[in-house]
A and B are shown apart, each in its own frame.
Chain A
Amino acid sequence: DAGVTQSPTHLIKTRGQQVTLRCSPKSGHDTVSWYQQALGQGPQFIFQYYEEEERQRGNFPDRFSGHQFPNYSSELNVNALLLGDSALYLCASSPGRLAGGTSYNEQFFGPGTRLTVL
């Protein structure tokens, strides 16, 4: 059973460029969340997608946008990159309405995409 997968593994961009990161959720999961993790910090919530809609957003500017596809996979887009956007970007999936009991919101993380902005 494949877990959460993310691509690419590493990415180097320059200031002002745009980037797209991709995530495939764990089999049986329908909800995808994105997090940004700076070095030495805990992950910070960017947004969550459910039923192809952004369900909740954290304190990130509009330069950060996303999309969820009918197969539940998701993309994170960042425009006008800044040096401060350099971080590990994590995707997490959860069972959502496809699970029963109390485990519906347990989030399972992918390996992350390391973004470096020069």
Chain B
Amino acid sequence: EDQVTQSPEALRLQEGESSSLNCSYTVSGLRGLFWYRQDPGKGPEFLFTLYSAGEEKEKERLKATLTKKESFLHITAPKPEDSATYLCAVQATSGTYKYIFGTGTRLKVLA
């Protein structure tokens, strides 16, 4: 069964303290892995798509990487405005269109 596991569930960082969020996935064949940011009560905001192992994407203080079993979202020198829940989703190649989401990592960055 296709599934996505994110860790840790919650993370508290001091401003400027870099860290990484993990997304482990089990899927029959990977069409794409997607990272989203979600603020409380809002819809997920698209961040990155990764398609193949070894691929990396960057945006401001965020960098996403992909291996055959997991993805990491690296946050460099975070600021309080980076506080949000970060969601990871996968889409399989087996004739499916749905995204399978993890439960997310709640990030709190303290000033």
A residues with a Cβ closer than 8 A to B are 4, 6, 31, 33, 35, 40-45, 48, 50, 55-56, 58, 88, 90, 92, 102-103, 105-112, 114
Contacts and interface: CB of A to CB of B under 8 A. Distances in A.
Contacts of A106: 32, 34, 46, 49
Interface residues on B, range: 20 to 34
Interface of B: 4, 31-32, 34, 36, 41-46, 49, 51, 87, 89, 91, 96-104
A8 B98 CA distance: 24
Contact of A114 (B41, B51, B102, B104): B41
A42 B103 contact: yes
A80 to B, nearest CB: 24
Given A102-B51, A103-B49, A106-B49, A43 B98 contact: no
B100 A45 contact: yes
